[in-house]
Amino acid sequence: MIYNVAALLSGEVGKSRVYAIENESITHDGGDFHGISGDVKLTRTDRGILLRGKAMGAGINECARCLETAIAVLHIVLEEEYFPINSDLGPGSSLLRQEVVEEEEIPEFWIDESNDLDTSEAIRQGFISETPLVNLCKPECAGICPECGNNKNTDPCKCEIRNVDPRLARLLDMKI
């Protein structure tokens, strides 16, 4: 999901191009996003390139109850501005205006020296923000038995589980 935007950067403000995203993947620490599809529109602004688009994909993580694979279908809407750090497209073409800039001052969404715009980070952040806090393989997931460790979805157990606070256990002996 890398696009060369040299022609857009050297063009007039308002010029745009639309690109399709088809069956892409992104890997990150918390899981993977697969089957990413959608479209993005890149528009020249007076400072850089405005990215607008929509994408959908499948987030693949662990189920919070049974630790099996959990798949969530995610939909995102993107709107980010990318700034060029290259100044070879003519006077005023660089956001950095040919100044000496420290690495940490470069904007998060930038167009590299080769005029390549990488949409992967914006899409990854969008999918992470849409990922449910509690991933489940299915809404009725029974989870893992705390006594025997069986996955109760595939191997129901006969364990009797009593979650009683030991400080209140004596109350069970009382008869009313």
* Tens digits of residue pLDDT in 110-166: 888 888 999 999 999 999 999 888 989 999 999 998 888 889 999 888 887 777 788
Are both 33 and 75 inside the same structural domain?
yes
Q: Which of 47, 53, 43, 48 is nearest to 1 (CA)?
A: 53
Tell me which residue range forms the domain holding 38. 2-138
pLDDT tens, position by position, 42-94: 999 888 899 999 999 999 888 999 999 999 999 999 999 998 876 555 545 54
Are both 115 and 163 inside the same structural domain?
no
Are 56 and 36 in contact, with CB atoms under 8 Å apart? yes
Are both 20 and 55 inside the same structural domain?
yes
Are both 120 and 163 inside the same structural domain?
no
Are both 6 and 71 inside the same structural domain?
yes
Q: Would the pLDDT of 98 be above 80?
A: no
Are both 100 and 176 inside the same structural domain?
no
- Using the structure block, give the residue that is written with the tokens 């022609």: 7
Are both 134 and 89 inside the same structural domain?
yes
Q: In 3-state terms, what secondary structure has residue 111?
A: strand
Express as a percent the part of the chain with pLDDT over 90.
47
Are both 147 and 130 inside the same structural domain?
no
Q: Would the pLDDT of 103 be above 70?
A: no
What total of structural domains would you count in the chain? Answer: 2
Are both 15 and 97 inside the same structural domain?
yes
Are 92 and 81 in contact, with CB atoms under 8 Å apart? no
Are 58 and 34 in contact, with CB atoms under 8 Å apart? yes
Q: What is the pLDDT of residue 64?
A: 92
What pTM was computed for the model? 0.73
Q: What is the pLDDT of residue 106?
A: 54
